[in-house]
Amino acid sequence: MSRHSHRSLMFGAIVPVLLSMTLYGCEKSATTSQDSSGDLVVRIGASAPLTGPQAHLGKDNENGTRMAIDDANAKGMMIGGRKAHFELISEDDQADPKTATIVAQKLVDDKVNGVIGHLNSGTTIPAAKIYSDNGIPQISPSATAVTYTAQGFKTAFRVMANDAQQGHVLGEYAAKNLGAKRIAVIDDRTAYGQGLADQFIKSAEANGAKIVAHEYTNDKAMDFTAVLTAVKSKKPDLLFYGGMDAQGGPMAKQVKALALKLKFMTGDGGYTPEFIKLAGTAAEGAYASLPGVPLDKMPGGKAFADRFVAKYGPIQLYAPYCYDAVNVMIAAMQKAGSADPAKYLPALADITYDGVTAKIQFDEKGDLKGGAITMYQVQHGKWQPLETLGMAKAAN
Amino acid sequence: MSRRSLRGSLRFGLLATLLRGFFLMVSFDKRNQRWIIWALLLAGLLLLPFITDALLGRGWVRIVDFAMLYIMLALGLNIVVGYAGLLDLGYIAFFAVGAYCYALTDSPHLAQAFPIAFPAGVHLPFWFVLPLSALVAGGFGVLLGAPTLRLRGDYLAIVTLGFGEIIRIFLNNLNAPVNLTNGPQGISFIDPITVMGVSLNKTQHFFGIAFPSVHLYFYLFLAFTALVIFVSQRLEKSRIGRAWMAIREDEVAASAMGINTRNLKLLAFAMGAMFGGASGALFAGFQGFVSPESFSLMESIMVLCMVVLGGMGNITGVILGGILLALLPEVLRNIVMPVQQALFGKTLIDPESLRMLLFGSALIGMMLYRPAGLLPSRLRRRELGGDDAAAEESVYDATH
Amino acid sequence: MDIFLQQIINGLVQGSVYALVALGYTMVYGILGLINFAHGEVVMIGAMLALSSLTALLGWGVTPLLALPISIALAMLGCMVLGYGIERIAYRPLRHAPRLAPLITAIGVSIVLQNLAMMIWGRQYHSFPQLIANTPHNIGGAIINNIQIIIFILALAIMAGLMFVVNRTRLGRAMRAVSENQHAAQLMGVDINRVISITFMLGSGLAAIAGVMVSANYGLAHYYMGFILGLKAFTAAVLGGIGNLRGAMLGGLLLGLIESLGAGYIGGLTGGFFGSNYQDVFAFFVLIAVLVFRPSGLLGERLAERA
């Protein structure tokens, strides 16, 4: 036998091996929803990008979800008179819409009772259809696109303000409270950044400010000097950035390096320790918004933050929302006395729950009802809350 | 030839046997059992979604559906790269064009931009939109081909890469001044595919058997994959196909033999693009949502990997490459954690990074193991003499 | 006017960054004709290694002035070993394979390095310590700082150094021979494996320097930073004529200028229809236009049509 056919022999072994390994891997999903001790097993699915450029946020989401589940198990929750045991099934959706639908289907196959996810709007929107088709409640901790809950799915919820709610508050705050007259806007052309920036512009213009420049970057860029120089030529008094901390931080730094005299403002994507780390001293004075009430002011918020930091390190961004999302879901299960998706879904729709981020109630679409939004500013190297703008109305 | 392939196929796994047997038997083995193999294969493929569903779960049917889309894409790219030898790093752009064609002509979206002309958006029938998507993508193929006719090798690679990015950037930004593509938000509420009055979006009952949506899409994609394979095979053996290969081997000589290299290269781009466009349309209908982030450079690179890894120019090889690379990440997703737990009793390494790490290593390993692809084309095999000693003689031809 | 001048400076600085990476790219291409897709990841590893050693050294109380060169040297050393390893494992066995085979292994290497880096250094963005005083200098209303000046000068110096090596030394002569014809070079007594290994190590060492400079300039390091840098550098190298050192420098600077002027003025030029969101489209259009008229880049030699 020539070496060539020897090789095809080896190759021929690959496919069956992969298949059998897959079968092996799937065995875990064949278990029933009762474990050996007779406890009720409740599976919570979670999905976020755990690889790729947003992996740091995805992992943060996973940690927040995991902590809520560990807490629930430690407390020994009862659902419908039976002791419940919670399991987390976390999957990487790579921030890719196609992978997200595969993951969604996998979670459905794994018979999850509910899903916390996804992180991005682009993955949450197509995945929502699959959860809805299978009647599985889904709570996104971080998707902000208005479309997500506008698709008319009864199973779609979020514990995060949408772009319209947050952009509205940001625009008003910039024009009224900070008195900005000439505003420049940069967005990163992602669903999040562009959505937020567009709502910000609408609101700022409605409040009498003038948008003197609208420039763009992307979510992988490091150098913003060209667009910032273009902004500089328009002499604005405030710059709003729609995008994440990984760009917002370096951008704030370059704003200072180019000697632009203006106020720097960004959305929840910038409210992170990374932002301050990356911007260095240039972070001082920057503004950011975050849906909900400051953790310190919520009952249990401080305790949550301390325990989280001790266990996983600094909170990146959405971990508290994930924590809330899981707890809201469990509360609905307890209220309905069942972890059966069809049974606890109505309870979830009209729940009232005091989370660590806010008092959570959903409107008929599944959006956060009258979500409060808090403005923060970097002071002495830390994000400090300025004021909570209560009961923000959705812009449309 | 067929004796060796028969011997080889016995050693392959179930899936590979089916596929390899399918093509090699159909094309080369003229013996009487041909129809039996046909029937067995057809039955196997028709049962595949049900078997997969029963054994592995419905998620895997969806994965197989995507694998079919990737096979179609890989076969389309194979025309450009495998047959005509034109390195294309922006192939996903045609997939994107097809997907957006479908999305725009089968969703309420255009009502936003043109409320008077289309108060309810546009909702054209599938059998009209599919060829339209293919044609529009084909047009873009010519658009890409025209300025790049004189370019070779890596210069062509960067221009096609740029083209792919240009298309994506336009899709990402054409929400202003007129909201054509809805920008980064993507287009949602896309109508599902309806074939002869049957919506593929919900479970349908035929002959008392329930066919869930993913199964229905599987059959649709299977039919199109078969069509794409058929067209590829006919092309390969046609005058056009032979002319492409002549261009691939030596453009100057081909031109001296009277081959119109300009038109044929444009045709290769257009044909490849049409396949991409058609599969894009299927993707849009399947997903119900399209956004520019689905069409990143990494996707182009993955499709190219499928073609090269499987065996450029060889249809069976390309199909195998498509299946392997589409399934591998999902297979790894399912085994990385349990295997670690079985071996060490706990999860030592973060499963996600390990998964992609193994995927990258597999790319390297498979390429080192079979440099001409898993199933190289006959021509390539002849060139290499099927033997490593002869391979030494072939000049490293990127330096020319 | 000061705005225009500032855009020129922005472009030159950004361009020098591209050029630094592109020089390493083009070295490898020149000798092997191989698009080393993993080069960007080597740049990233260089930045990460430097970051780790800097953090460690500063932690042990070494003065910043000493810590910086030591960590650059360590990063270079690490990357050279890495470059050697990549060539041995992923490229050498494929030297006689069809020409797309090493492209696929390069992609594989790139995925592996990225995920290894993610395992080692975590998913978060790291801030890169600022060791050189970032004093801004004002030139006619435009601002440039120390590190940016260093990057620009360094890119030029490295180009000059490489040109000296390639054109004036024994090693360079061997490199040129190998790039011209491997078989003939071997017959003339050139140890081609050694020459190729050295080229890879040289290219990877440069990648480390590029990585440190990029991280120092933007003040950050992240496991995903290499991909885009590699892509831009590849574009720059092709624009200038891949395989050509002066071409890489010119291509890098031009690409930087095109991007910054594009971002700054494209809106005004097109009546506001295209904005800075089309910055990359503009860059690629210029690239395509250049290649239509000069199919082998600005300074590339005309390809001999193989008959």
Tell me the per-residue pLDDT of C151-198, one tens digit each, with 9 for 90 and over: 999 999 999 999 999 999 999 999 999 988 888 999 999 999 999 999
State the chains in contact with C (3 or more Cβ–Cβ pairs under 8 Å). A, B
Residues 6 or more apart whose Cβ sits within 8 Å of residue B256? none
Query: How many angstroms separate the CA of residue B11 from the nearest CA in chain A?
Result: 5
State the chains in contact with B (3 or more Cβ–Cβ pairs under 8 Å). A, C
Distance in angstroms (rounded) separating the CA atoms of residues A123 and A117: 9
Query: Which residue among B162, B354, B371 places its CB closest to the CB of C94?
Result: B371
Question: Per the CB < 8 Å rule, is A226 touching C214?
Answer: no
Q: Residue C186 class from Cβ within 10 Å (0-12 exposed, 13-18 middle, 19+ buried)?
A: middle
Chain A CA closest to residue B329: A99
Question: Per the CB < 8 Å rule, is B147 touching C94?
Answer: no
Helix (H, G, I), strand (E, B) or coil at A382: strand
Is pLDDT larger for residue B202 or for residue C79?
C79
Query: Residue B23 has what pLDDT?
Result: 61
In single-letter form, the type of residue at position B260 comes to: N
Is some CB atom of chain A closer than 8 A to the CB atom of C153?
A: no
Question: Per the CB < 8 Å rule, is B154 touching C35?
Answer: yes
DSSP A140-159: ESS---THHHHT--TTEEES
pLDDT band at B266 (very low <50, low <70, confident <90, very high): very high
Question: Per the CB < 8 Å rule, is A249 touching C279?
Answer: no
Give the other-Cβ count within 10 Å of A154's Cβ: 15
* Residue C187 backbone dihedrals phi, psi, to 5 degrees: -65, -30
Q: Percent of chain A having pLDDT more than 90?
A: 71
Query: Residue B385 has what pLDDT?
Result: 44
Contact between residue C45 and residue C117 where contact means Cβ atoms under 8 Å apart: yes
- B-chain residues within 8 Å CB-CB of A5? 4, 7-8
Query: Residue A104 has what pLDDT?
Result: 94
pLDDT at B393 over 50: no
Distance in angstroms (rounded) separating the CA atoms of residues A53 and A56: 8
Helix (H, G, I), strand (E, B) or coil at A224: coil
- B-chain residues within 8 Å CB-CB of A190? 184, 293
Query: Residue A12 has what pLDDT?
Result: 45
Q: What is the mean pLDDT of residues A23-28?
A: 44
Distance in angstroms (rounded) separating the CA atoms of residues B379 and B373: 13
- B-chain residues within 8 Å CB-CB of C295? 150-152, 155
- C-chain residues within 8 Å CB-CB of B400? 303-304, 306
In single-letter form, the type of residue at position A144 comes to: T
Query: Residue C305 has what pLDDT?
Result: 36
Chain B CA closest to residue A218: B169
Query: Residue B9 has what pLDDT?
Result: 38
Q: Which of B149, B158, B126, B167 is nearest to B286 (CA)?
A: B126
pTM of the full predicted structure?
0.89
Query: Which residue among C222, C276, C280 places its CB closest to the CB of A227?
Result: C276
- Among C2, C4, C224, pick the best mutation site for testing chain A contact (most A Cβ within 10 A): C224
Cis-peptide into B177, omega within 30 deg: yes
- How many residues can be counted in chain A? 396
Query: Residue B31 has what pLDDT?
Result: 61
**Looking at the predicted complex, does its ipTM rise above 0.90?**
yes
Question: Per the CB < 8 Å rule, is C179 touching B399?
Answer: yes
Structure-block tokens of residue A126: 């197509």
Q: What is the mean pLDDT of residues A331-353?
A: 94
Beta bridge partners of A264: A239
Question: Per the CB < 8 Å rule, is C263 touching A215?
Answer: yes
Contact between residue B87 and residue B157 where contact means Cβ atoms under 8 Å apart: yes
- Among B12, B203, B340, pick the best mutation site for testing chain A contact (most A Cβ within 10 A): B12
Distance in angstroms (rounded) separating the CA atoms of residues B63 and C298: 45
pLDDT band at A369 (very low <50, low <70, confident <90, very high): confident
Is pLDDT larger for residue C209 or for residue A300?
C209
- A-chain residues within 8 Å CB-CB of C263? 215, 226-227, 230
pLDDT at A64 over 90: yes
CB pairs under 8 A between A and B: 155
Distance in angstroms (rounded) separating the CA atoms of residues A38 and A107: 23
Question: Per the CB < 8 Å rule, is B158 touching C287?
Answer: yes
Residues 6 or more apart whose Cβ sits within 8 Å of residue C60? none
Query: Residue C98 has what pLDDT?
Result: 85
Q: What is the mean pLDDT of residues B105-119?
A: 90
CA A293 from centroid of its chain's CA atoms: 16
Q: What is the mean pLDDT of residues A277-299?
A: 91
CA A253 from centroid of its chain's CA atoms: 25
Contact between residue B81 and residue B88 where contact means Cβ atoms under 8 Å apart: yes
- B-chain residues within 8 Å CB-CB of A19? 13-15
Cis-peptide into A118, omega within 30 deg: yes
Contact between residue B145 and residue B265 where contact means Cβ atoms under 8 Å apart: yes
Query: Which residue among C112, C235, C305 places its CB closest to the CB of B158?
Result: C235
Distance in angstroms (rounded) separating the CA atoms of residues A247 and C114: 20
pLDDT band at A38 (very low <50, low <70, confident <90, very high): confident
Chain A residues within 8 A (CB-CB) of chain C? 51-53, 55-56, 58-59, 189, 214-218, 220-223, 225-227, 229-230, 232-233, 245-246, 249-250, 253, 257-259, 274, 277-278, 280, 316
- Among A1, A7, A62, A105, pick the best mutation site for testing chain B contact (most B Cβ within 10 A): A105
Give residue-wise pLDDT tens across range B338-354: 787 778 777 777 787 88
Is some CB atom of chain A closer than 8 A to the CB atom of C6?
A: yes
Question: Per the CB < 8 Å rule, is A217 touching C275?
Answer: no
Question: Per the CB < 8 Å rule, is B172 touching A51?
Answer: no
Query: How many angstroms separate the CA of residue A146 from the nearest CA in chain B?
Result: 9
Residue C60 Cα distances to C31, C53, C63, angstroms: 42, 10, 9
Question: Per the CB < 8 Å rule, is A229 touching C10?
Answer: yes
**Residue spans of chain C under pLDDT 50:** 303-307
Q: Which of C179, C155, C153, C156 is nearest to C167 (CA)?
A: C179
pLDDT averaged over every residue in chain B? 85
Residue A273 Cα distances to A167, A270, A277, C136, C225, angstroms: 22, 9, 6, 26, 20
Chain B CA closest to residue A124: B289
Give residue-wise pLDDT tens across range A72-128: 999 988 898 899 999 999 999 988 998 999 999 999 999 999 999 899 988 999 999
Q: What is the mean pLDDT of residues B90-102?
A: 96
Structure-block tokens of residue A115: 């899903």
Chain C CA closest to residue A234: C3
Distance in angstroms (rounded) separating the CA atoms of residues A177 and A170: 10
Structure-block tokens of residue C288: 């395509």
Please give the DSSP secondary-structure letter assigned to residue A52: S
